[in-house]
Structure 1
């Protein structure tokens, strides 16, 4: 019966449109060969859609698409001009439907069983299918599993993926979860299917409350999308715009970019820069997380043995040593180490790091200064000036400066650096080294709001004066119960704890990160955002702000009666707070992920190029004996999870890094709108067996590298970073505000690829181990060729 219906569909559509009315292009395919079967979608005058209804069968056609739809099961088939059948959706049910009524460009009908109204229209090369209802329910459409008519998927899974539907590794990987929230799985709300002739792009016009479910029939990867109509949505509707276009790997992204522009949802970096005056400091830059355990570094002390002996011998006298001893944690081993080293006559590296960590903790305390202890110590004019203000009147930044100056002046004879040069990641030593390496533009931040900059304000000022963006790392994702907070960004008051949690429909709260505390509603958090930022900005000037999680797709239906919200409301509240940061302070603002719902607001995103990988893999997260173990969140001055280089398991390299399956979809849409990079847990140097491939792809896509650095790590990797920066910075300065306009795969094995940015720069990446000759020019193995069109200059870079 199904076969007869299909033949009927073809015959009727043939009568309506004929098979030879579509223009044939002479475009070249991705391998450079002429392909007479590629469909050209011309910009021509709109034409009327032909509509025919035969019982429950709907036939819509024009010169670009010929659609056959079964209203009873919502199967949809497109028949191209060569009578090739492409299944846009397999049957999803067996429904009772009302009489089908024709409209100007299509039809509408009711699914009686589900109380769902369906509107179908065809205009040019765009099929629109719209569903609406008045009740809470879950509804599935489309379901794509059939082998008819296509061979691969194009999906914006993070930056973008090309997925052959028969590929076993992708089939296994994507079906490991029962379902994926499309907001977290897809960086943009579309999917594409592809065959040798065309690509079909499904744009989800309502990107919220959708789940993608993958299936494997032991031969092909399939998927379906479920939409949840919730009580938090007063208007319950969702729709797809399905666009047929030529065979082009990045065409779905081009279609989505056009859609954004048509619906006024695209905002360029040039437009965003009107409110963020320092945004151009990001053009041509790199992104760096700096690490230290506090304001002092072990290398700041030159005479370590004399230093610990001084503390040990004077711990009972009225001196700075006594104050240190009083404030050292009882559970700390530092007291024992100081006693031990004073007798041993030597201080090893372990002891130096342990002692400095504890001292750094003490120097953050607001009760460090005690007049009876310090009254006999000589004081500089800077210390006197701070004390004259009165301790109660000092800002956090001034407290930190006072404590550091008191400490430095009390132990000055043991230091071998000047006061202004103390520190590790956040130090003039670091800034000077970056300058020496030629790194003139960079985004610099730490892991704990702006505290690292507040600890040494003079370093922050020097960084800004040097042209860097200095950022605060912030989060409003989780809150912990007052009094037992695990990290500073989760500290809020009792009122927010009791009233601000995100609640399930059954009245329970969503757990916070790592199952600690609660998720906090962005609607309830806004006053706390303003209060926290106000205090920090009153203490120190930063010119950038990074908010964890907001653009990562983790949104919630909130049933808390104090602030009920849909996922769309959740997204809008996050957008509101980020936009407020821009409007109020003119900051360059970024977030984790870069999901499209915040793309018109944020300036940069971390995690699009390489995301968090293998969160649940025991070998990478728990098994410390595994060669793949990422490392612990320790030590503070260089957490192993960020700086330790390890190989990446082959299966994850296949999914996330293998160039044959990567596509610059996000860059095609947003290259000139959002500057992206990798997640800090998957930085550019993290995976030892992916560094070269990643460097080539970063240049090919023209996205910024991300590094985790302290002085030790910079010593290890400085030469590599400097060489890479000298190439990347030059072209990103030119292309940051240009679109990624072209992408080509130049070889059958997909290992030589080309991009073009506006009419400014072309990049060819050769991932092969051997050289490749392109138009008479040889590109060495594992290298890129960069062509700057204005200067007509070419450069080869080999990592």
Structure 2
């Protein structure tokens, strides 16, 4: 009986000793060793240096220290500790999951943590980086080093990388870094020993509510695709991967994306030049009536600006020349003048006005009204109103259907085209097409801003609701105009406007610019503080709204991994924006590589004018030698992705065949720009390519890409494999090659091997011939 108090006293002394020891720093920095399948990860708990000890005896420093030697570590649990670095405090938890090292870090105060810090640049032979589709970057390539440093200056990870991981290829193995928490995280490139190394920093801030920063490090085989395989496994384990088959089960219209070319249609007004059947007679009649105050011609003439009047007079003179008639250029100029004048002389009658001077229902009524008034004033010289328009028009839809396109996604650059041409929308849907319009809720402009665009007009109240950084300064909008509006504040308005546009246009698809492209923002404005995660969640809700509430097949720009479960298609992964990297492409109008501007409005050179791509730039953005289908390995069966609209499949004359082959290899659809002025030029190839691409994509767009292989030293012969057993082998070279089975691959060709069909050989050069 007398022993019990002694035992209790001993227990108390023992507990006190344990508590005392646990509150003291761990001097000498004993390593935290975490075994995995083929070795041990050793973590210095005070500095977060990570060293890999492989079972074969190899030792590698994976990450340099984040803190100096003066930092101290205090154990707080099994494989958990606290770091003190001056006034900064961090909580760290470590473990092995999916045979990978997982480190999760929290901060006790706002601070920027620069970690992980990959090391041993000379041990890295190449990097596999998810820039868009993916890039294979040899570590000793000085040109790539220059491109990486200029193109990927430190910025938000969700803006630079399409997926939050990258891999290092180190001889007989690879190291993959997966950032589980991409928000508040920045990615950049630094130089070590004249070679590139990624650098990561994470900003702990008061808006993030103590959220952790979590990183996984995975050792794998020397396979540049291993990081993509690992990331997909991680998504599947967390049930974060939603397949297209699941999306189609919820929304059957998504199936129409299978085999569909993505086509932006440009109109810039209710009329196209061909809607005036007899130009000489029309011009003479207009000239005769422009002094009659009772006639529509008088009102239109009064609304013409001086250049428009000059164009009309020049066209009228040409009308008197029976040999040449009215030139195509003058017809377009006068049509442009008419389209610009119509809203001024025949104003809309408000129906359901929205802030920003938007009223989709009124635009529908206006479109019908001007039909009647134009026919009353000029009927004998005009085509049937139901056929008017040069972009989203009945004529364009019929041309596509007669060309044999059984599937297409049609996007109106200006949503008014859909409102003015309802017959075209209904005909497109009947033909099996998806019909969408472009919309955006990124930039917000005040009503008095002159250099503006329609989607950025949301009313002055929202134009004053931009994000503010931690210093209280406004985050400027796209091209420095207006502001980027807080996504939570704009949410009710966005839902209202999307509903109004979709309902008035009778659409079955919708495209929201920016939302899935990143980066996210923080807003420190008192009363509407918003963290990056909250910003992302608001964008997610905005992307979900058209599909869940309006049953529209919804897509967005980019396709950053976080947003993929919520959308069906994206524009901007196969080819990302890059023109700003080289002045000869983006600014120098005298350069043969200048991509063009936004004029003329019906067919802007930026989208319609073919130009060669500067070879020094093509090396990094289109060359098969440096491409990897990392994105397709993860998301091919979850999302239909294609090019950014500034870099359509036919934009770069020097890259057309390579682009056509890449689309076959990756099974990503082509993207085009069309209107009545270029149909004759571009439709023959579109038709020829559709015949070979559409049946394959219809079969494969819901299948997982299971493998990618390179079969030649110059990386010009490549193969993708799909989960149904289909093999697509492409020879990008300008000389013949052999497939692994010994089949002849002509220059610039694709070989399709399917388990249940005869082999198919596609020589893309022949598709560009007029007879194709």
- Equivalent positions of 1:555-704 (< 5 A) are 555-704=520-669
Contact 1:369 1:403 (C-alpha < 8 Å) held by counterparts: no
* Cross-structure match for 1:470: 435
CA distance in 2, matches of 1:668, 1:653: 23
The CA deviation string for residues 351-397 of structure 1, in whole angstroms up to 9 with x for no partner, is 21111012123344583599xxxxxxxxxxxxxxxxxxxxx997421
* Cross-structure match for 2:411: 445
Tell me how far 1:151 sits from its aligned partner: 1.3
The CA deviation string for residues 14-57 of structure 1, in whole angstroms up to 9 with x for no partner, is xxxxxxxxxxxxxxxxxxxxxxxxxxxxxxxxxxxxxx997433
Tell me how far 1:206 sits from its aligned partner: 0.5
> Which of 197, 220, 226 is the equivalent residue of 2:172?
197
> Which of 463, 475, 486 is the equivalent residue of 1:497?
463
Contact 1:309 1:338 (C-alpha < 8 Å) held by counterparts: no
* Cross-structure match for 1:38: none
Describe the SS at the equivalent of 1:764.
Answer: strand
CA distance in 2, matches of 1:337, 1:649: 36
* Cross-structure match for 2:268: 293
> Which of 332, 341, 356 is the equivalent residue of 1:362?
341
- Taking structure 1 as the reference length, what is the TM-score of the superposition? 0.86
Tell me how far 1:652 sits from its aligned partner: 1.8
Describe the SS at the equivalent of 2:678.
Answer: helix
The count of corresponding residues between Structure 1 and Structure 2 is 721
| Residues 343/213 of structure 1: CA separation in 2 closer, same or farther (3 Å cut) | closer
Tell me how far 1:534 sits from its aligned partner: 2.6
* Cross-structure match for 2:367: 400
Q: Does 1:530 align with 2:506?
A: no
- Equivalent positions of 1:421-436 (< 5 A) are 421-436=387-402
CA distance in 2, matches of 1:253, 1:708: 32
Q: Does 1:108 align with 2:81?
A: yes
Tell me how far 1:117 sits from its aligned partner: 2.1
CA distance in 1, matches of 2:656, 2:360: 50
CA distance in 1, matches of 2:394, 2:98: 61
* Cross-structure match for 1:796: 762
Describe the SS at the equivalent of 2:105.
Answer: strand
| Residues 412/777 of structure 1: CA separation in 2 closer, same or farther (3 Å cut) | same
Contact 2:509 2:552 (C-alpha < 8 Å) held by counterparts: yes
The CA deviation string for residues 46-102 of structure 1, in whole angstroms up to 9 with x for no partner, is xxxxxx997433333244232233334332221323222333212333143445649
CA distance in 1, matches of 2:506, 2:468: 36
Contact 1:290 1:426 (C-alpha < 8 Å) held by counterparts: yes
* Cross-structure match for 2:57: 83
CA distance in 1, matches of 2:554, 2:456: 20
Tell me how far 1:251 sits from its aligned partner: 1.2
Contact 2:118 2:198 (C-alpha < 8 Å) held by counterparts: yes
Q: Does 1:418 align with 2:392?
A: no
* Cross-structure match for 1:388: none
CA distance in 2, matches of 1:520, 1:353: 37
> Which of 209, 216, 228 is the equivalent residue of 1:234?
209
| Residues 212/536 of structure 1: CA separation in 2 closer, same or farther (3 Å cut) | closer
Contact 2:45 2:83 (C-alpha < 8 Å) held by counterparts: no
Q: Does 1:249 align with 2:224?
A: yes
Contact 1:64 1:125 (C-alpha < 8 Å) held by counterparts: no
Describe the SS at the equivalent of 1:522.
Answer: coil
The CA deviation string for residues 568-591 of structure 1, in whole angstroms up to 9 with x for no partner, is 111100001111211111010011
Tell me how far 1:321 sits from its aligned partner: 1.4
| Residues 665/124 of structure 1: CA separation in 2 closer, same or farther (3 Å cut) | closer
CA RMSD of aligned residues (A): 2.3
> Which of 32, 44, 50 is the equivalent residue of 1:70?
44
Moved more, 646-655 or 701-710: 646-655
Tell me how far 1:700 sits from its aligned partner: 0.5
Tell me how far 1:538 sits from its aligned partner: 3.5
> Which of 744, 749, 753 is the equivalent residue of 2:714?
749
CA distance in 2, matches of 1:728, 1:187: 25
| Residues 619/149 of structure 1: CA separation in 2 closer, same or farther (3 Å cut) | closer
- Taking structure 2 as the reference length, what is the TM-score of the superposition? 0.89
> Which of 693, 712, 721 is the equivalent residue of 2:686?
721
CA distance in 1, matches of 2:188, 2:624: 25
* Cross-structure match for 1:46: none
CA distance in 2, matches of 1:697, 1:684: 10
Contact 1:760 1:790 (C-alpha < 8 Å) held by counterparts: no
* Cross-structure match for 2:298: 322
Q: Does 1:269 align with 2:244?
A: yes
CA distance in 1, matches of 2:725, 2:368: 48
| Residues 178/580 of structure 1: CA separation in 2 closer, same or farther (3 Å cut) | closer
Tell me how far 1:660 sits from its aligned partner: 1.4
| Residues 368/230 of structure 1: CA separation in 2 closer, same or farther (3 Å cut) | closer
* Cross-structure match for 2:17: none
Gap runs ≥5 in structure 1: 1-51, 371-391
> Which of 107, 125, 142 is the equivalent residue of 1:168?
142
CA distance in 1, matches of 2:442, 2:73: 49
- Equivalent positions of 1:298-377 (< 5 A) are 298-317=273-292, 318-326=294-302, 328-329=303-304, 331-343=305-317, 345-346=320-321, 347-364=326-343, 367=346
Moved more, 361-370 or 67-76: 361-370
Moved more, 615-624 or 546-555: 615-624
- Equivalent positions of 1:478-557 (< 5 A) are 478-484=443-449, 486-498=452-464, 500-557=465-522
* Cross-structure match for 2:94: 120
Contact 1:56 1:72 (C-alpha < 8 Å) held by counterparts: no
CA distance in 2, matches of 1:750, 1:100: 51
CA distance in 1, matches of 2:237, 2:458: 42
CA distance in 2, matches of 1:320, 1:267: 56
Gap runs ≥5 in structure 2: 1-25, 350-358, 766-772
Tell me how far 1:694 sits from its aligned partner: 1.3
Moved more, 451-460 or 710-719: 710-719
